[in-house]
Amino acid sequence: MRGRSVEIPSLIQPKTCRTFSTSRYNPGMLTAAIALFALVSAQVRIPDVPFLATPDDVVDRMLDMAKVGPGDVVYDLGCGDGRIVIAAARKFGARGVGVDINPVRVAEANENARKAGVENLVTFRVQDVMETDVSEATVVTLYMLAEINVKLRPRLTVQLRPGARIVSHTFGIGDWEPEQVVTFKDKMGTMRTLYRWTADGKIRP
Ligand SMILES: C[S@@+](CC[C@H](N)C(=O)[O-])C[C@H]1O[C@@H](n2cnc3c(N)ncnc32)[C@H](O)[C@@H]1O
- What number does the ligand 1 atom closest to the CA of 128 have? 20
Residue 22 predicted with pLDDT over 60: no
Distance from Cα 80 to the centre of ligand 1, integer Å? 5
In short, whether 1's Cβ falls inside 6 Å of ligand 1 is no
Check if the beta carbon of residue 171 is closer than 8 Å to that of residue 193. Answer: no
pLDDT for the residue 43: 52
Distance from Cα 105 to the centre of ligand 1, integer Å? 9
Stated as kind and residue range, the H or E segment containing 116 is helix 103-116
pLDDT for the residue 45: 78
Flag the least confident range among 33-37, 60-64, 76-80.
33-37
Given this structure, which CATH class describes domain 1-205?
alpha beta
Query: How many Å apart are CA 161 and CA 182, to the nearest integer?
Result: 24
Residue 7 predicted with pLDDT over 80: no
Check if the beta carbon of residue 68 is closer than 8 Å to that of residue 164. Answer: no
Query: 62-72, pLDDT tens digit by residue?
Result: 999 999 999 99
pLDDT for the residue 31: 63
Query: How many Å apart are CA 64 and CA 24, to the nearest integer?
Result: 42
